[in-house]
Amino acid sequence: EVLLLESGGGLAQPGGSLRLSCAASAFTFKNYAMSWVRQAPGKGLEWVSSITTNGDATYYADSVKGRFTISRDNSKNTLFLQMNSLRAEDTAVYYCAKRTAGSNSPIDYWGQGALVTVSS
Amino acid sequence: QTVVTQEPSFSVSPGGTVTLTCGLSSGSVSASSYPSWYQQTPGQAPRTLIYSTNARSSGVPDRFSGSILGNKAALTITGAQTDDECDYYCALYMSGGFWVFGGGTRLTVL
């Protein structure tokens, strides 16, 4: 069964940084585009970022563009999200998600999520 | 800015059939938007139900089905069960690698 395990969440101050990781298993990681999706407390889902299979293209929501960086290490089956210049409105559960193929394909599997809280 | 629209709430009787929709603030939803549907119970991660309009994700019962109805994507639940009471989100591909989620529909089964 596909498994996506996020780590690295926690408390950060406004203007601070955090790096999320997502360890993938039970599928050939390098063959699938990956994404991050977040959900603020009591709110709906928001697509944050996607990355192609080999990392040669990345895409970002306007709300995080220029502050967040998605990357992947196919040798370690791991997805990352570097979050800089954090704001209170970035407080959310961040889900790692596997796509069915390329970055224009839908999500089929989700991780359990990592909580990021931005507060002073 | 394109907005993906969903009914904020819907109610269905146990055993009944309900169709939730997913539209665009401007334009029509088509198969090229790869419409997908996700189910989420409180405190849990989302679960993929339907992707690419009507492909059922692994382990999803066949009483969940997807389609295009008119200018919207649709999720139909037949034989609704109390366990189906939760939030449902759709997502659409906007080209250029961008995706947008709808605001979600809270389904009540009573």
| Contacts for B6 with CB less than 8 Å, ≥ 6 apart | B20, B21, B22, B23, B88, B89, B90, B102, B103, B104, B105
Overall average pLDDT of the B52-75 stretch: 96
Per-residue pLDDT tens over the stretch A2-27 = 999 999 999 999 999 999 999 999 99
B97 to A59: CB separation less than 8 angstroms, yes or no: yes
Number of neighbours of residue B54 by Cβ within 10 angstroms:
16
Q: Closest CB to A95: pick one of B45, B58, B99.
A: B45
Per-residue pLDDT tens over the stretch B36-49 = 999 999 999 999 99
pLDDT of residue A119: 96
Nearest to B7 by CA among B99, B110, B92, B89: B89
Query: Comparing B98 with B106, which gets the higher pLDDT?
Result: B106
Interface test with B, best of A51, A59, A104 (most B CBs within 10 A): A104
A107 to B101: CB separation less than 8 angstroms, yes or no: no
B102 to A44: CB separation less than 8 angstroms, yes or no: yes
pLDDT band at A105 (very low <50, low <70, confident <90, very high): confident
pLDDT of residue B2: 82
**Cβ-count burial B1-21 (b if 16+ within 10 Å, e if not):** eeebebbeebebeeeeebbbb
Distance CA A17, CA A2 (A): 29
pLDDT of residue A102: 83
DSSP assignment, residue B17? -
Q: CA of A46 to nearest chain B CA: how many angstroms apart?
A: 6
Using beta carbons and an 8 Å cutoff, which residues of A are at the interface with B? Answer: 35, 37, 44-47, 50, 57, 59, 61, 95, 100, 103-113
Query: Comparing A105 with B77, which gets the higher pLDDT?
Result: B77
The residues that bridge with A28 in the sheet, in sequence order, are none
Coil vs helix vs strand at B85: coil
pLDDT of residue B5: 97
Q: CA of B94 to nearest chain A CA: how many angstroms apart?
A: 9
Q: CA of A110 to nearest chain B CA: how many angstroms apart?
A: 7
Per-residue pLDDT tens over the stretch B4-15 = 999 999 999 999
| Contacts for A94 with CB less than 8 Å, ≥ 6 apart | A6, A9, A20, A36, A37, A38, A48, A81, A113, A114, A115, A116
pLDDT of residue A103: 80
B51 to A61: CB separation less than 8 angstroms, yes or no: no
Per-residue pLDDT tens over the stretch A26-83 = 999 999 999 999 999 999 999 999 999 999 999 999 999 999 999 999 999 999 999 9
Per-residue pLDDT tens over the stretch A31-40 = 999 999 999 9
pLDDT of residue B16: 97
Residue pointed to by tokens 């193929």: A101
Residues 18-77 of B with CB under 8 A from A: 34, 36, 38, 40, 45-48, 51-52, 57-58
B91 to A110: CB separation less than 8 angstroms, yes or no: no
